[in-house]
Amino acid sequence: MTPGALPFGVYILAREPDWRRAQQLGYWHTEALESEGYIHAAGHEQVPAVFTRRFGDVSRVFLLKLDEASLVDFLRWDAHPKTGELYPHIYCVVPLASVERVIEWPV
């Protein structure tokens, strides 16, 4: 699937062990939620750059496409402090019921 073919929406990029852990727990949670107050995510157009920048040590990740409506009270687009680019942040644990689809990236 090419970057342009990703369905419109918000994604969490997950390493395989972290995704497996979330499946066991029934929700997605990261250390960033505790230390920064939110979970990092990416818009569909941001996925390729985030993958390159933050996941260069792995050959693939799982993209968790989120149901934004189920997270509406906890999803906010915040400006990156250096670039000003808006990124989605989720201010709660993400129940797996809020994951609409899982896509292996890159395919």
Whether residue 64 contacts residue 12, with contact meaning beta carbons closer than 8 Å, is answered with yes
Domain 3-105 belongs to what topology?
ADP-ribosylation fold (3.20.170)
Q: Residues 38, 7, 34, CA angle at the centre, nearest 5°?
A: 10
**Mean pLDDT to the nearest integer, 82-100:** 97
Please report, for residues 25, 41, 60, 94, 96, the alpha-carbon distance to residue 56 in angstroms, rounded to integers and kept in the order given. Answer: 26, 17, 9, 24, 26
**Mean pLDDT to the nearest integer, 30-37:** 95
Q: What is the residue extent of each domain of the chain?
A: 3-105
Confidence of residue 86 (pLDDT cuts 50, 70, 90): very high
Burial of 40 (0-12, 13-18, 19+ CB in 10 A): middle
Kindly report the pTM of this predicted structure: 0.92
- Amino acid in position 38: Y
